Homo-oligomer: A and B are copies of this chain.
Amino acid sequence: MAKGNVAVIGYGVVGSGTVELFEKNLESINGKIGRECDIKYILDLRDFPDSPYADRMIKDFDTILNDPDIEVVAEVVGGKTFAYDYTKKLLSAGKSVVTSNKELVAAKGAELLKIARENNCNYLFEASVGGGIPIIRPLNKCLAGNDILQVCGILNGTTNFILTKMIREGMSFDDALALAQKNGYAEADPTADVEGIDAQRKICILGSLVYGRHIYPEWVHHSGITGITTDDVEYAENAGYSIKLIGSVNKIGDDKLGCMVCPRLVPKSNLLASVDDVYNAISVTGDGVGDVLFYGRGAGKLPTASAVVGDMIDCLKHRHTVLAMSWEDSDSNDFLVPYKQIETAMYVRVKIADAEQYKAKLSDMFGGLIFIERANRSSDELAFITPVIKEADIDEGLKKIAAAAEIASKIRVL
């Protein structure tokens, strides 16, 4: 049988991990594929003269594209420019592409899956969500018999590390972010993580996969964790919740979806509340299976490489078989319910002079509230959780006390 040749585009963190893991377990991988396979090219514009793989390093993409021996390419270069161009060309040439590039899958997934299908090859992206955690294939295959009611989870390890430090050690957001940067968990510019943009891409991929139509990131409300304070953490703890950054997509009625990324109060009884540090976890609810949860390291060199290599093996094992289910492109977001129209319970912290006297008034306004206490709560502060109502109605209610009150925090409850 012909030797199976693969190429890796991008020799950064994930790329070097992919090469390392593939080569380390090469013998067992070949056994699983059932024939001899190996990495033939590694494409990177930089030089790595001391690498043990220096003899496979190339700088010209066309070498890969024009080599008929290359069956599978791992695109781990990231971004939407080169990666998009390369992926289109490779798939059009009938070469399968596997990737960890969530930005590209979230932006161009429908188009790239279509090209793969038309050219009888695969575009797989297990590594794009949850790092090494198996989630794409389980959703796509194992749970295919279910009507999926909801997918929600902790999709970003950086923010979960920061929140864990705030919750467990009472650190401020700024100190926790600085520690995350020191540990290499957060980038110098942490915007994509802390503002929920990374998680937004990931929930779009999961939602598109599950519901069969492309959900573009720009259609999805996101808010990050920069506004979370240790005050909110303390109130949440006292009420039996942990604050987590949650991406969620769920059915609303028969044919609408809700999709957003935001911090949420997660009840301690939910396993998601116990997911700490850089770990990710994704909870899936189906009409058959009930709730299942997937947990592990959501990022990092070798965990992400684990998913990339798993996809490479699948493509090598099933050449010329279209393995992925796919989704259709969407020309409008009319299947998404605007987030202000979605029902939710809301934790609210207000600054208001002579706070006690407002309790009854606020309670009446919302049809009952759960007030939360904390030690030494100042006389000008109230914290409470509303019933489950439309978010727009919560805003409407709070407007009525706007003259007297400052809304210090609003966090949705899971």
Contact = CB atoms under 8 A, between A and B. Distances in A.
A22 interface: yes
A314 B141 CA distance: 7
Contacts of A32: 144, 325
Contacts of A294: 134, 292-295
Interface stretch (A159-167, A231-239, A301-309): A301-309
B290 A132 contact: yes
Given A138-B134, A321-B318, A144 B29 contact: yes
Identical subunits present: 2
A270 B124 CA distance: 32
Given A145-B312, A306-B146, A293 B292 contact: no
Nearest to A18: B145
A137 interface: yes
Contacts of A137: 134, 137-138, 141-142
Interface in A257-312: 271, 274, 286-297, 300, 302-303, 305-310, 312
Contacts of A300: 290
Given A141-B310, A306-B145, A25 B126 contact: no
Nearest to A136: B142
A29 B145 CA distance: 6
Interface in A183-226: 212
Contact of A310 (B29, B144, B295): B144
A168 interface: no
A289 B297 contact: yes
A71 to B, nearest CB: 16
Contact of A289 (B138, B147, B303, B325): B303
B288 A145 contact: no
Contacts of A146: 21, 25, 306, 309
B292 A134 contact: yes
A215 to B, nearest CB: 17
Interface in A93-127: 126
A296 B223 CA distance: 29
Nearest to A303: B289
A125 to B, nearest CB: 12
Nearest to A317: B325
Contacts of A24: 147, 287
Contact of A292 (B289, B292, B296, B313): B296
Contacts of A142: 126, 134, 137-138, 306-307, 310
A355 interface: no
A145 B313 contact: yes
Contact of A309 (B28, B144, B296, B306): B144
Q: Which 8 residue pairs of A and B lie closest in terms of their CB atoms, listed nearest first?
A: A145-B309, A292-B296, A134-B142, A288-B306, A132-B289, A134-B138, A289-B306, A293-B295
